[in-house]
Each structure stands twice: as structure tokens, then as C-alpha cells.
């Protein structure tokens, strides 16, 4: 979300107050949540132990060996700046200020820095992983993507993998692999395009296919387990698509209103049954069911969960068991905690604070 010509600034202008919920250290640790500070000097990842009831307790902080961009609320304008590998063994982070990507080995809530490599572009802001492939989105300049092979957590640049996007000044914000790893999708907010690449066996990419987005300002792309592409649009809508072998997108659900403001992030939960958008301008979440054909339908009156006013929930993550959704509340320096009900509604069960408020936080990952 870098183009001031097109993007709603409401994603950026938010403040608020805090509450506090901590889980007892005696409770069984069931998983973890990680948050990136994006600090301009010594970017760090903060780790939290997830208890069986979904509540969190602080468990450590780890340097990325790089620098973030700093800033206030949502300076990276991206989804996927901090990601876990699909098997939860590795954590990857961007260092937008130093133009690098870092990899960590994950052992519960403990992180061990393995590697830090140049991103082969300026201002890396998002990542995507599939098998032994990692791609980074560099949003600076005209924007590009560049690939690495992952070997025991080490990042090995793929020769000739750096690929430009569709045009100049594209303002790209997310990238994602299809579940089978055969396609890589990039959203361009300034051009209203969704780029689709085929992924070759050597890890390099095909020629680009730039598809028109069905909703204005496509921001965050995710795939369901069965291959439906879900895109949250900063125009406060959500869309779904099929991807064909020729890299074309077929619209399944046209721009469906989220009824929130500053819709810029999304997450898929409960085994691909539901998807949620984070609406930073209204500090709430919208919920939708995902049909077998990929069609989206609003859950109830669409708004299914809310953080305190001014939270500015700019990103989301879901626990590995699908039972909990976490929001990164950058305006107040907190993590919102929600349980996922059987009907898709979200029940707010707490919040953990202690993060720097309006200080550049970006990126949340969970298992």
C-alpha cells in the first residue's frame, strides 16, 4: 500500500487503549505466536507461548540481524512480512531497512537465527514459501520478486529468479504460492492487477500474466487448501477466484463488501471453511464462509469480531489447530485473541499487551 494516488490512508491513522490477558505459565504450551517489531535499528521477533485455551504469554525476543523500516502504523503496507514454513520448522522475516531476509529454526517458542541474505531488490516487505522454495517481494521502485532454495534453514539464491512485475510503480503488497506449488500470485495495489506466475521445477518463474482484479486495490492474497484464491481488497471488499493453467483468473465471487474500513489483510481458518478480513480503520474483523466451489458468503451481518476502538488490527494469524485467530493491534501495541466458534463467529477472549504502540509493528505468524 505505497501509492498515495490510490490507497485509503485510513489503514494508517489509528490510536487507542489497552487491556491485558496473560495465560498462566503452568498451563500446557500448545503452540506459539510470533510478532515482528520492524524496528529501524535491530529488527526483532517477539515470541509468545500459546496455551490450550488460546491465551498467550511472552516467551522471548530474537534479533533478525537486520533493520526494519520503523514508522508508526503499517509502514510496510503488506501481508506476509513474517511467515512460518508449512511444517512450522522455519520462520522467515523481512528486513525492509537493510534489504535482507532472515531465517530462523523454530523449537517451540525458541528461535535460532540460521541465515540472513540480500533480498535482490529494495524494501523487501513480504514472503511466500512452498517446499524448499522461498520467494521475497521487494516493493521498492517498480517492485520485483526473487527466489531462494531452502536447505536446512539456509537461503541459497536461485540464479536468474529475480523477476519484475507488470509495470512501473506497482505498489505490490502480498505474494502467495498455490497449494500445489505450481503458481505464485502477487497483488499490485497501484495497478489493480493480480499477477500470476507458473513455477518451474528449477524454482524460476514463467512469464508474468497480469490479471485485472475484480475489486479495487487488491491487497492480500491467500489460497484455500483446495486451491481457491481469496483476495482482500483495500476498497473494503473481498473476492475469490479460480486459477487456470494459462495463469488466468476466473472470478467466483465479485467484490463482496466487508462492511469494515481499511480492509487490507485476510486469513483462512477452520480447514478452509472460513475466511476473515482485518479492518484496521474500524478495529474489527469480517467473516465469510467458503463454499465448495470457492464462493464466499457473509457470516451473519458480516462483522464477526471486534477489538477495542483504536486497536488498528493490521494483520492476522490463525493457530495450527484452527481454533484461534490472532490480530496484530499496531495502534495499541497488543495482540487480540479470538476463539473460532463452530458457526464461524469470533469470540474475543483476551488481549496481551507490551508491544510498542504506533511504532512500526508489522507481521504476525502462528502455529
Specify the pLDDT at position 212.
Answer: 98
Assess if residue 272 is contained within a domain: yes
Assess if residue 1 is contained within a domain: no
Cβ–Cβ under 8 Å, residues 180 and 161: no
Q: The pTM is what?
A: 0.92
Assess if residue 237 is contained within a domain: yes
Assess if residue 37 is contained within a domain: yes
Question: In tens digits, what is the pLDDT along the chain, a chain of 367 residues?
Answer: 333 333 333 343 333 333 333 433 333 458 999 999 999 999 999 999 999 999 999 999 999 999 999 999 999 999 999 999 999 999 999 999 999 999 999 999 999 999 999 999 999 999 999 999 999 999 999 999 999 999 999 999 999 999 999 999 999 999 999 999 999 999 999 999 999 999 999 999 999 999 999 999 999 999 999 999 999 999 999 999 999 999 999 999 999 999 999 999 999 987 899 999 999 999 999 999 999 999 999 999 999 999 999 999 999 999 999 999 999 999 999 999 999 999 999 999 999 999 999 999 999 999 9
CATH of residue 65 = 2.130.10.10
Full domain range(s) for residue 227: 9-366
* CA 159 – CA 181 distance, rounded (Å): 19
Assess if residue 315 is contained within a domain: yes
Contacts by 106-110, CB closer than 8 A, 24 or more apart: 106/32, 108/29, 108/32, 108/49, 109/29, 109/32, 109/47, 109/48, 109/49, 109/59, 109/60, 110/47, 110/59, 110/60
Assess if residue 2 is contained within a domain: no
* CA 223 – CA 350 distance, rounded (Å): 28
Specify the pLDDT at position 30.
Answer: 84
Number of compact structural domains in the chain: 1
Assess if residue 298 is contained within a domain: yes
Per-residue b/e over 90-118, b at no fewer than 16 CB within 10 Å? bbbbbbbbbbbbbbbebeebebebbbbbe
Assess if residue 296 is contained within a domain: yes
Amino acid at each position: 500500500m505505497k501509492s498515495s494516488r490510490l490507497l485509503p490512508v485510513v489503514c494508517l491513522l489509528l490510536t487507542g487503549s489497552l487491556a491485558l490477558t496473560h495465560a498462566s505459565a503452568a498451563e500446557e504450551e500448545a503452540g506459539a505466536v510470533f510478532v515482528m517489531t520492524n524496528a529501524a535499528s535491530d529488527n526483532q521477533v517477539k515470541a509468545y507461548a500459546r496455551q490450550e485455551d488460546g491465551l498467550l504469554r511472552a516467551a522471548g525476543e530474537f534479533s533478525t540481524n537486520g533493520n526494519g523500516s520503523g514508522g508508526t502504523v503499517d509502514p510496510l503496507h503488506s501481508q506476509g512480512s513474517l511467515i512460518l514454513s508449512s511444517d512450522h520448522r522455519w520462520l522467515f522475516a523481512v528486513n525492509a531497512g537493510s534489504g535482507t531476509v532472515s531465517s530462523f529454526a523454530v523449537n517451540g517458542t525458541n528461535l535460532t537465527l540460521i541465515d540472513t541474505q540480500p533480498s535482490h531488490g529494495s524494501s523487501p516487505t513480504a514472503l511466500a514459501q512452498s517446499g524448499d522454495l522461498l520467494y521475497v517481494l521487494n516493493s521498492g521502485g517498480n517492485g520485483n520478486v526473487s527466489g531462494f532454495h531452502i536447505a536446512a534453514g539456509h537461503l541459497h539464491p536461485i540464479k536468474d529468479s529475480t523477476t519484475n512485475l507488470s509495470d512501473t510503480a506497482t505498489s505490490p503488497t502480498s505474494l502467495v504460492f498455490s497449494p500445489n506449488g505450481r503458481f505464485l500470485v502477487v497483488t499490485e495495489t497501484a495497478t489493480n492487477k493480480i499477477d500470476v506466475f507458473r513455477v518451474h521445477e528449477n524454482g524460476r518463474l514463467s512469464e508474468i500474466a497480469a490479471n485485472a482484479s475484480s475489486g479495487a486495490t487488491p491487497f492480500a492474497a491467500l489460497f484455500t487448501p483446495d486451491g481457491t484464491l481469496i483476495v482482500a481488497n483495500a476498497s473494503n471488499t473481498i473476492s475469490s477466484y479460480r486459477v487456470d493453467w494459462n495463469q488466468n483468473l476466473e472470478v467466483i465471487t465479485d467484490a463482496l463488501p466487508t462492511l469494515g474500513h481499511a480492509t487490507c489483510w485476510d486469513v483462512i481458518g477452520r480447514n478452509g471453511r472460513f475466511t476473515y478480513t482485518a479492518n484496521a480503520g474500524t478495529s474489527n474483523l469480517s467473516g465469510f464462509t467458503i463454499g465448495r466451489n470457492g464462493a464466499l458468503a457473509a457470516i451473519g451481518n458480516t462483522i464477526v469480531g471486534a477489538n477495542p476502538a483504536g486497536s488498528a488490527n493490521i494483520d492476522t494469524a490463525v493457530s495450527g489447530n484452527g481454533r484461534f485467530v490472532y490480530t496484530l493491534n499496531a495502534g495499541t501495541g497488543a495482540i487480540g485473541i479470538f476463539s473460532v466458534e463452530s458457526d464461524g463467529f469470533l469470540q474475543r477472549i483476551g488481549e496481551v499487551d507490551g508491544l510498542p504502540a504506533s511504532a512500526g509493528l508489522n507481521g504476525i505468524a502462528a502455529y
